[in-house]
Structure 1
Amino acid sequence: MEHPQLWTSAWWQDSLALQAYVEASVDPDDAKKLCADVAEKENKPWSNLFETSSDDQLWWSLTWISCDPTNTRYITRSKALHAHVLQTWNASYCGGGVLWDSELTYKNAITNALLIHSSCELYKVTDEEKYLDNAIETWEWFSSSGMINSDNLVVDGLTEDCVPTGAPFTYNSGILLQSLTSLYEITSNKDYLSNATNIAIAALKRFQATDAPGILADDCCVSFDNCTCNHDGISFHGILARSLAAFVRAGGDVDGSVASALTYNAETAWGNRDVDTNQMGIAWEGPVDKNIDPNDACVAQTAGLQLLTAAGM
């Protein structure tokens, strides 16, 4: 079925908006109430939560954990979404990994990076070894798949012939970075942190605005005057910012450069906000587009909120 949306034009971005609100909220009770309201809506008109792409399901798996890692109802939902995606694991297609789309024809980076991340987070809240095993197995497959190129950037996916394909996006690097950071936190294996460091450095070097060096940007928004992102692309750099913050918290930012980059981005985005509404724009180095579609404005605000939270603002 087609899922009714809450605030954005995509079910997965609704999960990001909810997660960002929960993590930025200064009132835990208010955040819990919003999560409960959303959960109640899912139990009524959204009778089947599995008829979407696998990555959408995993975004929500992570968001329910963020809502309340002690809430049995949320963890049960998170586990169900994770398990449904894991059913698409296919060793006959490129040796492993889960599939992305409803036609089960594409194996991509974001879905498998999210599977590692979701597995790690479920292990943290359940202590069930199978989730750690899922995370490690998926990473071992991912690391040999070719989706991490020689520049330590993560390309979009694999062709049917298992050839790496597609451009790198900020969120692919971000979620894999956060997955490796989680694996390091769980296992204390410094190989995971070393790989995470390589990806973080590469992402900060590659994803910069041409009109504002140091400001995180995807290729769809290389400058304020050349910003053509669709509703998906608007959110990507906020995901990278959140992931970089996790890397900093885990002790990976040895020289402080990642934390400094997050602070610079956050101060720039906040400084360019609409002071009447506190709305932030798509391109953090420029002002808000007053004609932006309301759904896209919510996505842009979610990305901005992720950035501010990542920088501790």
Structure 2
Amino acid sequence: MVNILAAVALLASVGAATDSIDSVAPKDLAVTSKVSILGVAKTLAGGVMSYYLGNATTFADLPKPYYWWECGALLGAMLDYSYYTNDSTYDDAIATALMANVGPAYDFMVPEHWLDEGNDDQAFWAFAALSAAEHDFEQPASLTPAGVPSWTAISINVWESMVGRWNTTLCGGGLSWQIFAENFNGLNYKNSASNGGFFHISARLALLTGNQTYLDWAAKVWDWTTAVGLIDKDYNVFDGTDSADNCTTVNPLSFSYQNGIFLQGAAALANLTGSDVWAGHAAGLLNSSRAFFTPSDNATNIMWEHACEGVGRCTTDMKSFKGYLSRFMYASSVVMPSLASNISTYMRKSAVAAGQSCTGINMDGAPSANGTTCGQRWYVGGFDENVGLGQELSALEAVHGLLVLDGVVDDVPSPTPSTTTTPTPSPTASQQSGAHSMAPLDLRWTVLGMACALFAFGMA
């Protein structure tokens, strides 16, 4: 199936360059104003990238206490930022970081992390590569010598490494959390992040390539996940299960991003197949996600990480999870528009609450002039003094995805026409001889024409 929705999303992203938009304090976010969303996203993107110490030519892993996987998550967020806002400020740094971590087999198995890399870590880097492929993100020639695979091929390499780890010896299938025997504690644990990641990658590759193998494996992973109870009949997604008891008991903890991982995968398969079954799975997952939007009776439709925020025990990793649910929800609304209305209800209020949390201090203790420092608990109505990369990432992903929703008014001012008089050029030799010339194309109409052509081809 031709993904006409992705083509339309591309069309929508063509607009005023974000470098012409002033930064806006997140607390002033207006969710129906494109100018406001762009300005707040610009502010938050700067806050996120202040934690990244690399640059356009040199990769630098995130400093402690952040793990390597979260760098992949950061790059996935920034790829969406670049795509949604048309701001290329960070593109070179993003490309450099991705290419520095593909590993010798171009599958994000990096020698520096061979003893600590888990399946879920690898999955988050693959999510970034898939976004790069879907967004047609350029691979700079200086970073991609002859023979370097495309973003799609890199994503396929990850999938092939994962499918080789599918283990039917215990529990009838599933991926373990950890990859290497040195991490023996995680070898018995078959978690939703790893298996959901494999499902998600399979589903997006199926939509991206049309290859039946990926569709078949997505269905296989889904069936296994539901059979062992990691997804229950109400579409609640639980953290994991232990192969030491043949996966007969489930860890009942539930985190927002796990729901989102499965949600986008199911929505992609609904788009690809037109199946009511996959559409039902996606709708069920979205419905179950309501648990992450009800911190109290008077704070509905504001996202929270219910497993840890209420008791104040979120780890560094957990503080970033809300951002990924936002990311996967917005992406799901694009490939499965019937979800968009409910997602809009959740995310508009959550984005405002996220912005209102960004009134704190910078890492150096100085006041945050533009509100680039965000808190964690959005439902408190302000800054809660709990700062970090995860909080910045979560706020950014809640805000910039608003641009894909209906109801955003394009109030970006048109460029002021120049009043400078330009001398009339002399006719070229071809013009003097009567040859036809073509006026420059408006890129928006070019993309629209391509989208219509793709649609017509898909209907043929």
Cα distance in structure 2, aligned partners of 1:141 and 1:203 = 21
Unaligned runs of 5+ in 1: none
1:288 corresponds to: 383
Tell me by how many angstroms 1:149 deviates. 2.4
Summarize the alignment of residues 182-221 of structure 1 with structure 2, pairs less than 5 Å apart: 182-205=268-291, 207-210=293-296, 212-221=299-308
Shift of 1:191: 0.9
After TM superposition, the structure 1 stretch with the greater mean CA deviation from structure 2, 72-81 or 44-53, is: 44-53
The answer to whether the Cα contact below 8 Å between 1:12 and 1:57 also exists between their aligned partners in 2 is: yes
Matching residue of 2:325: 240
SS in 1 for 2:300: strand
Confirm or deny: 8 A CA contact 2:200 2:261 kept in the other structure. Answer: yes
* 1:117 to partner: Cα distance: 0.9
Q: Post-superposition shift, 1:221?
A: 4.3
CA distance in 1, matches of 2:351, 2:157: 35
Residue aligning to 2:80: 23
SS of corresponding position for 2:302: strand
- Per-residue displacement from partner, 1:198-242 (whole Å, max 9, x unpaired)? 12112113553237332111234445xx53311111111222222
In structure 2, the CA distance between the partners of 1:148 and 1:40, relative to structure 1 (3 Å rule), is closer
Identity %: 24
Map 1:76-155 onto structure 2 (within 5 A): 76-101=153-178, 102=180, 103=184, 104-155=187-238
Contact 2:292 2:306 in 1 (8 A): no
- Residues matched between the structures, number: 304
In structure 2, which of residues 343, 347, 352 is the aligned counterpart of residue 262 of structure 1? 347
Q: Of 1, 4, 12, which aligns to 2:69? A: 12
Instruction: Tell me, yes or no, if structure 1 residue 33 matches structure 2 residue 92.
Output: yes
Q: Name the residue aligned to 2:441.
A: none
Number of the residue aligned with 1:299 = 390
The answer on whether the counterparts of 2:357 and 2:377 sit within 8 Å (CA) in structure 1 is no
Question: Which has more radius of gyration?
Answer: 2
- Higher deviation after alignment, 258-267 or 90-99: 90-99
Quick one: distance in 2 between partners of 1:138 and 1:213? 33
Q: CA deviation at 1:77?
A: 2.7
Q: Secondary structure at the match of 1:158?
A: strand
User: Are positions 1:170 and 2:279 aligned together?
Assistant: no
Is the 2:234–2:288 Cα contact (8 Å) retained in structure 1? yes
Paired residues of 1:170 and 1:207 also in contact (CA < 8 A): no
User: How many Å separate the matches in 1 of 2:240 and 2:159?
Assistant: 20
**Aligned partner of 2:126: which letter?**
S
Mapped pair 1:42 → 2:101: yes
The TM-score with structure 1 as length reference comes to 0.86
8 A Cα contact 2:357 2:384, kept in partner: no
**Aligned residue in 1 for 2:14:** none
2:406 aligned with 1:279, yes or no? Answer: no
Distance 1:204 1:96, change over 3 A: same
**Higher RCO by CA contacts (8 Å cutoff, separation 6 or greater):** 2
Segment of structure 1 superposing worse, 79-88 or 257-266: 79-88
Deviation, 1:153, is 0.8
Partner in structure 1 of residue 12 of structure 2: none
User: How much has 1:91 moved relative to structure 2?
Assistant: 1.6
> Would the aligned equivalents of 2:269 and 2:278 in 1 still touch at CA under 8 Å?
yes
1:273 alignment partner AA: C
Residue 110 of structure 1 contacts residue 156 of structure 1 at CA under 8 Å; is this kept in 2?
yes
Q: Deviations over 1:277-309 (max 9, x none)?
A: 4232211224335563xxxx1121111111112
CA distance in 1, matches of 2:281, 2:337: 14
Higher mean C-alpha displacement, 102-111 vs 3-12: 3-12
Residue type matched to 1:266 in 2? A
Between the aligned partners of 2:291 and 2:261, the Cα distance in structure 1 is 17
Q: 2: CA distance between counterparts of 1:166 and 1:200? A: 19
Q: Output the CA distance in 2 between the equivalents of 1:109 and 1:188.
A: 25
> Displacement of 1:140 after TM fit?
2.0
The residue type paired with residue 98 of structure 1 is L
RMSD in angstroms over aligned alpha carbons? 2.7
Task: Provide the rounded CA distance (Å) in 2 between the counterparts of 1:83 and 1:129.
Answer: 14
Structure 2 counterpart SS, 1:5: coil
CA contact (8 A) 1:50 1:57 kept: no
- Whichever structure has more strand as a proportion of its residues is 1
Change (3 A) 1:11 1:149: same
Q: Report what 2:120 is aligned to.
A: 55
